[in-house]
Amino acid sequence: MEAGQVSSAATRRALVLTGHLKEIDKGSSLVVRQPCLEYSPPELNSEPAFDIELMQGLLDGHDAQTRTFIFNLMSESDLFVSRRVGRRVFLGADYNQPMEVQRELTMKRIQYFLDRGVFRGWLTDDRPQSALRMAAMFEYIGLFDHSLAIKLGVHFHLWGGSVKYLGSKRHHDKWLMPTEEFSVIGCFAMTELGHGSNVRGIETITVYDPSTQEFVINTPCESAQKYWIGGAAMHATHTVVFSQLHMNGKNEGVHAFIAEIRSPDGRICPGVRIADCGHKIGLNGVDNGRIWFDNKRVPRENLLNSVADVTPDGRYVSNITDADQRFGAFMAPLTSGRVTIAVSAVYQSKVGLATALRYALSRRAFSLSPNEPEVLLLDYPSHQHRLIPLLAKSYAMSFAACDLKRIYYNRKPEHAKIIHVLSSGYKAMFSWHNLKTLQECREACGGQGLKSENKVGQLKAEYDVQLTFEGDNNVLMQQVSKALLGDFFTSQKKQQPMKGLGLEHMNEPPPTIGTNANVRDVKFQLALFRLRERDLLVKLAQQVRELVSKGSTMANATLASYQLAEDLGRAFSERSVLESILSVENSLAPSPEKTILGLLRSLFVATTVDEDPVFLRHSYLSPDQALSIQKEVASLCREIRPFILSLVDAFGIPAPFLGPIAFDWIAANSWDLEEARS
């Protein structure tokens, strides 16, 4: 048929249809309206399972009243309200606003907290319970907005923490209270254009002038400019500068100095140049900047001197003579960033899961047969498989995060290694989990996941940076394995048993994995995870030794073994997480809470095994066992499905921190609401 004939035939059909429609009266019964979809709350599609308040207490670990206090404080101000839908109020930052507006609002929100005494004692109260109280507030502030949490984290944890833990009494007396009061606004100048994770390699240079008793700081080349410095572009008045200290022709390594970069009236100080890093894919409420130093002079007393000092006449003094040990002691107190990132990542994964799972308990799609209602998204096995294993992982990681906080905030000098290793492994593991979870939740919400107001999609951009700052995740996993390898070599050299880092299991004979083992059996789970960890450690040691025997340096041999090293880092972290959830489970008497945690633990293990090719690659499991475990993932998802809403509610995420699709998404998109807006 030719084009003209096609057009003519189409016109005739259109005319016939038009004639039929004209014959239908407006009130005719020939037009029958089908009943519209109605919102069905998740509560109608779930079963009560356990004591939700008790479970939330286990997940949060501490300071329930503090969390309620900071949430109520935010709820009382329009600075934190993003939208009202009927009687429901939503809290959150508006990421559609220009960068300049987001930055201004971040400072206004900080001032709001400051006026109400929120920051009192954050640096000057040394009690562990005060630190945990601050951590609880940070976690809930982060639920509101990542930029606000990071801006405060830079000021208190990085700037304030450096002054507190790298400095001495003279620094504490001068700087800590003004920092709490925000009469000083601090930032943290470590990262450079040319050096990030490799702090030892930074190129900023500082020398000492004994004639004036001042340090002179310089940026010798463009790659030495300080980069991504939160707070530097607009608001910070002072910074901790990390620099190579050259004394009498010798480089004494990286040290930290306090430098003023802005006067109280906001003018940039002499000897300092500052530029804005500009717009980012997320965190636009933080004013990241770049800093150059041109013969910037600071008083001798501004050297943070907990590890080393310089006398007025220019002598370098330190109780630690070994440069490597001195660098380690210098960096050890700066682990708070990794701790807070690990905890924050778990909380954000909960926001994504709470949103996607509540939506999946109310949204339907497709009927399995004619005249039957459409099926809830969460009743599809594939949808369960997408989200419920991630829920189990977030539960397990929550308990591990609580353990990490308890160690960190009650730390003693002998805890330095375990804090470094755990915070490195958890920061990597948990932030990877968060991004994977947010991506899956975004997709599971369909088109609604793309709307900024529903948060999930936007959180991906906001939290992507967690994979990079405070240490690249792959580098951190290699640091974990490096520490384990060092302990293993030391143990063998001294012919002593392994001690610390949870590696005592290596002093026992290797566990045997039976062919008929039950994946839900605790002994099987521990044996399997410990077998993987010990075998990867032995294989890594063998590979490194073999390369060294062929002429490689220890450093190059370790670098060449990066695949085994990263696998070992994950194995250590996942074994530690398993032990954390098991510890909580064992603390409970027989109860519904204990039963559901057992199911979640088993799903965490089964999913981890199913996703990690290492278990088959190194024959820890047979193909038949791997297939059986994969089937067990689906079975556990089905068993946990009826209790999903209770599990989500136990996250304790206040409803205003979620997006509209977590609730009545039909009402949130109604024309009546649109008219009310305009």
Judged by DSSP in three states, 53 sits in helix
Judged by DSSP in three states, 118 sits in coil
Angle at 176 between CA 225 and CA 208, to 5 degrees: 45
Q: How does DSSP classify residue 176?
A: I
> Residue 2 class from Cβ within 10 Å (0-12 exposed, 13-18 middle, 19+ buried)?
exposed
Q: Is 181 among the residues known to form the active site?
A: no
How many other CB atoms are there within 10 angstroms of residue 319's CB atom?
9
Please give the Cα distance from 473 to 466 (Å, whole number). Answer: 9
Judged by DSSP in three states, 560 sits in helix
How many other CB atoms are there within 10 angstroms of residue 240's CB atom?
23
Given the residues 470, 533, 574, 632, select the one marked as catalytic: 470
Please give the Cα distance from 391 to 363 (Å, whole number). Answer: 19
Q: How many CA atoms lie within 13 A of 562 on its CB side?
A: 7
End-to-end, the C-alpha distance of the chain in Å comes to 52
Would you list the DSSP string of 135-171?
Answer: HHHHHHHHHH-HHHHHHHHIIIIIIIHHHHHHS-HHH
Please give the Cα distance from 284 to 97 (Å, whole number). Answer: 10
Longest Cα separation, the chain: 105
- 228 dihedral zone (left: phi>0; alpha: psi -120 to 50; beta): left
Judged by DSSP in three states, 296 sits in strand
Pairing of the two strands 364-365 and 250-260: unpaired
Helix 128-144 and helix 64-75: axis angle, to 10°?
40
How many other CB atoms are there within 10 angstroms of residue 181's CB atom?
11
Please give the Cα distance from 513 to 622 (Å, whole number). Answer: 10
How many other CB atoms are there within 10 angstroms of residue 122's CB atom?
21
Reference 648, options 446, 375, 340, 352; nearest CA is 352
Is 191 known to sit in a ligand binding site? yes
Is 278 known to sit in a ligand binding site? no
Q: Which residue has the tokens 């959830």?
A: 581
Task: Check: CB of residue 90 under 8 Å from CB of residue 78.
Answer: no
Pairing of the two strands 238-247 and 186-189: parallel
Enumerate the active-site residues: 470
Binding site: residue ranges? 191, 230
Q: Give the annotated binding-site residues for FAD.
A: 191, 230
